[in-house]
A and B are shown apart, each in its own frame.
Chain A
Amino acid sequence: MIPRLLVLAAMIPFLGTASASTAEAEKRLKTAVDEVLTIADHASNNSGLIESLRPVLHKYLSFSAMTRRAVGPGWRQFTLDQQKKAIDLFTILIIRTYSSKFTPGEHPEITFKSATEAEPGRVEIPTTLLYKGSHYSVTYRLEEAEGWRVTDVVIEGVSMVANYRSQFDSEFKKGGADAVVGALSQSVEHPK
C-alpha cells in the first residue's frame, strides 16, 4: 500500500506540467522534422526532393483540413468532385512550396520551445529556425485526428492557411468553386 502511494505521489509533479497531448504532439512533430531533414540532407536536386518528401508530408500533414479552411464557408458550395480536385491541387502546391525552401547542402537548425494546448485536441508548438544565417520564428499547429497532424505553419506570424484564405476568397467571389479550382490548377501548371 505504501509503495503504491509513493508511486502516486511521485507522479504528481508530472501532472501539472505538459499534458499528455502536448507531449504526444511534440513527439510527433519531432519525428516528422527528423524524417524531413534526413531526406533533405540526402537530396541532391529539387525534383528528387519533392518525390521523396511527398509520402512523408502526407503522413504528417492534414491537407484536407488546410484546403477546407483556406477556402472557408464557400466550401459548402463545392461539389464532392470540386472538393477533391481542390484538395489534390492545393496539396501539390503546398508540397512544392515546402520543398523549394531547401537548398542542397544547407542544414536548418530547429529549436523546439514549450508547446501549448490551445484547446483539447489542438496544440501549438513554437520553434526557432536557423537557416542560412537567419533566424525565423516558426509555429506549428497540430490537431488530433487519426493521430496528430500539422494543420498550419505560421512563419514570423504569417499563417500559410490564412494567406491562402484571402486569395481563395477573392477567387470565390469572382466565380465560385469553379474559379477557385481553376486558379489552383493555373498556379500548379504555371509556377511563378
Chain B
Amino acid sequence: MKHHLLPTLLLAASATLLTGCTSSDRLPPTKSHPAAVGSDKHDSKSVKAAEGDLNEYSAISIADPLEPLNRATFWINDGLYTVVLRPITKGYQAVIPKVVRTGIHNVFENVRFPVRLVNDTLQGNFKRAGLETERFFVNTIAGVGGIGRPSDHISSLADLPEGDTGQTFAKWGIGHGIYIVLPVLGPSSLRDTVGIAGDYALNPVNWISFVYGGYAWTIAIPSTNSLRVTHEQLGVYDTATKSSLDKYLAIRSSYIQYRQEVAKK
C-alpha cells in the first residue's frame, strides 16, 4: 500500500493520515516491563502482573467533528466499492494478463515522477530528489519508457520512499485539521485533501485532460491509472475491515497511523 496510489485514483478505496494527531495510535512501547507480558494462561496472577502495560497504546487521535456525515459517506463508499468497483477491477484482472498489468503499473508509476520530485524538493530532501531523477532516467531509458523497472536492481534506487503533497505539509508542521471521508476517494483529512489536489495537479497523467479536455480518450488514461491500483487498495481495505468491530473506526485508525508513518519517511 503506497500513498502515491491515493491521489491518482478517482475511484479507489484507501486507508490512511496526520496532525490533529496529538497522541499516536501506535506509539512504540514506552515502558519497560520485561515481565509484563503475561503468559497465555489466564490465571489471575499473570493478569495482575501484566496490568502495567495497559497504557501501551493510547486511543484515537484525530478530531472528527463531522463524524455523523463522515459515517454516512463511509457507508455509501463501502456500498460503491462492493457494487461498482469490485466487478470492474475483477474484469480488469481477468481481461488483462498479469505481465501487461505489471507493465501498465510501471509506466504510470514512472510518469508520476514529478509528484515525487517536487515534493522531495519542497521538503528540502535534495538527495532523494536526485535519486528520484536518476531512477526516472534509468527506467525511462533502460526500462523502455518505464515498462520495465531496472532500477529495482540498483540498491540505491530500489527502495526510495514515496513523496506526496500531504506528506510535505506534514513535514512543514501543518496538522491534519479534521478527519474527512471523501466521496469515492475515502479517508482523508483537511490537510491531506489539499495534498490530494496537489498530487493530482502534479501528475502528468491528469495534464492530458487539462489540455485536451472533452474527448473520451482523455478519460481512458486516468481511468486505467485508477483501475491498476484499485484492486490492491480494495485488498487493503478488506484486510483492515474484515475482522473489525466497527469498520469506520478501523479505517480511521489505519489512516491516521499510516499517514503518520508516511510523514516520517
Q: Which residues of A contact B (CB under 8 A)?
A: 58, 62-65, 68-73, 75-76, 80, 83-84, 87, 93-94, 96-97, 100-101, 118-122, 124, 133-134, 136, 141, 143-146, 149, 151, 154, 156-159, 161-171, 183-184, 186-187, 191-192
Q: Shortest beta-carbon distance, A20 to chain B, in Å?
A: 14
Sampled A-B contacts (8; CB under 8 Å)? A97-B239, A133-B98, A158-B253, A163-B253, A166-B25, A166-B60, A167-B245, A192-B243
Tell me how many residues of B have a C-beta within 8 Å of chain A: 53
The 3 closest A-B pairs by CB, nearest first: A157-B261, A121-B34, A159-B26
**Cβ-closest chain B residue relative to A62:** B37
User: Is B46 engaged at the interface, CB distance under 8 Å to the other chain?
Assistant: yes
Q: Shortest beta-carbon distance, A177 to chain B, in Å?
A: 13
User: Is B95 engaged at the interface, CB distance under 8 Å to the other chain?
Assistant: no
**Cβ-closest chain B residue relative to A65:** B37
Which of the residues A80, A120, A162 comes within 8 Å of B32, measured between beta carbons? A120
Which of the residues A84, A124, A145 comes within 8 Å of B42, measured between beta carbons? A84
Interface SS, A side: helix
Q: Which residues of B contact A (CB under 8 A)?
A: 1, 15, 24-26, 28-29, 32-40, 42, 44, 46-47, 50-51, 53-60, 98, 102, 232, 239-247, 249-250, 252-254, 257-258, 260-262, 264
Establish whether residues A69 and B246, one from each chain, have CB atoms under 8 Å apart when the complex forms.
Answer: no
**Cβ-closest chain B residue relative to A85:** B42
**Cβ-closest chain A residue relative to B244:** A167
Establish whether residues A167 and B51, one from each chain, have CB atoms under 8 Å apart when the complex forms.
Answer: no
Residues of B within 8 A of A71 (CB): 54
A83, A134, A141, A157 — which one has the most chain B CB atoms within 10 A of its CB?
A157
Complex: A187 Cα to B241 Cα, angstroms: 11
Q: Shortest beta-carbon distance, A123 to chain B, in Å?
A: 11
Establish whether residues B239 and A169, one from each chain, have CB atoms under 8 Å apart when the complex forms.
Answer: no
Establish whether residues B34 and A159, one from each chain, have CB atoms under 8 Å apart when the complex forms.
Answer: no
Establish whether residues A75 and B26, one from each chain, have CB atoms under 8 Å apart when the complex forms.
Answer: no
Interface SS, B side: loop
Query: A192 and B25 in contact (CB under 8 A), knowing A145-B37, A157-B257, A158-B258?
Result: no
**Cβ-closest chain B residue relative to A71:** B54
**Cβ-closest chain A residue relative to B47:** A83
Which of the residues A83, A97, A157, A170 comes within 8 Å of B243, measured between beta carbons? A97
Query: A158 and B26 in contact (CB under 8 A), knowing A100-B242, A144-B34?
Result: yes
Residues of A within 8 A of B47 (CB): 64, 68, 80, 83
Residues of A within 8 A of B242 (CB): 97, 100, 191-192
Q: Shortest beta-carbon distance, A105 to chain B, in Å?
A: 13
Query: A136 and B1 in contact (CB under 8 A), knowing A62-B37, A101-B239?
Result: yes
Residues of B within 8 A of A159 (CB): 25-26, 57, 257
Q: Shortest beta-carbon distance, B139 to chain A, in Å?
A: 16
**Cβ-closest chain B residue relative to A120:** B34
Which of the residues B33, B35, B46, B245 comes within 8 Å of A64, measured between beta carbons? B46
Establish whether residues A141 and B245, one from each chain, have CB atoms under 8 Å apart when the complex forms.
Answer: no
Q: Shortest beta-carbon distance, B130 to chain A, in Å?
A: 22
**Cβ-closest chain A residue relative to B105:** A133
Q: Shortest beta-carbon distance, B197 to chain A, in Å?
A: 23
Establish whether residues A183 and B60, one from each chain, have CB atoms under 8 Å apart when the complex forms.
Answer: no
**Cβ-closest chain B residue relative to A90:** B243
A145, A154, A170 — which one has the most chain B CB atoms within 10 A of its CB?
A145
Residues of B within 8 A of A69 (CB): 53-54, 56-57
